[in-house]
Amino acid sequence: MADNSIHVVVADDHPLIRMAVESALDSIPALVHVGSAADSTELIALLDEHPCDVLVTDYAMPGGAHGDGLPLLHLLRERYPELQIVVFTGLDQAAIVQTLFEAGISHILSKADDVSHIAAAITAAHVGRRYLSPSIAPLLPSRGTQRPTLALSPREREVLTLFVAGWSVNAIAEKLDRRKQTVSTQKVNGMAKLGIERDADLFKYAVELGLSGAAS
């Protein structure tokens, strides 16, 4: 095998996505496909058996013994410190992308973008250069700008955490001894800061946004 080849592992729970990524790898001679995994259990076993240079992984990949999302990414970075990670995700929420970037993941691709970005991101990761696909780049603040999301006030975070835990706005107002309108405003303002528009997305991304701790 050539000395300049880049060994790549692919992880995604959708077979068609894995096939698309593998096809993109096969089109570039310098990229060597080491293997693929459908969840974190298979991924860790594969990486333990076959060390590689770059991992292309989905973000939301449930079902494995080692979880998914940020906890899995932290585990991968601790366990394989030399491994470069490219996150290939269908989650295009600004808060998620910014959280990934702040966690040290600087190679992020959207599944809405052309698969040609996969090879480019792998090459960039291998040489230590940042790479964001076109749909991802606008979701990060400009260089030198203060990051606007996740800057929740303590009261906004308290309201959102209770809401995610299943409390209604009325119940939160009663629990915290605040007016219903005040709680509603804090909820709306907090969601706006997080770049979340729908309640469904707030529930969906609660863990990644640090809102998963239910209050009693």
- pLDDT at position 3, please? 56
Considering the entire predicted model, what is its pTM? 0.70
Question: Residue 147: which pLDDT band, with cuts at 50, 70 and 90?
Answer: very low
The model's pLDDT over 48-106, given as tens digits with 9 standing for 90+, comes to: 999 899 999 999 888 899 988 888 999 999 999 999 999 998 877 777 888 888 888 99
Higher pLDDT: 145 or 124? It is 124
Range from 125-129, 140-144, 146-150, 159-163 carrying the lowest mean pLDDT? 146-150
pLDDT of residue 189 exceeding 90:
no
- pLDDT at position 149, please? 43
Q: Computed over its alpha carbons, how large is the radius of gyration of the chain?
A: 19
CB atoms within 10 A of CB 193: 18
Candidates 10, 210, 4; CA nearest to 109 is 10
Supply the DSSP symbol for 111: T
131/214 Cα distance (integer angstroms): 36
Instruction: Specify whether the CB–CB gap between 63 and 39 falls below 8 A.
Output: yes
Angle at 205 between CA 204 and CA 210, to 5 degrees: 135
Question: What contacts 24+ positions apart, CB below 8 Å, involve 110-114?
Answer: 110/134, 110/135, 110/136, 111/17
pLDDT of residue 142 exceeding 90:
no
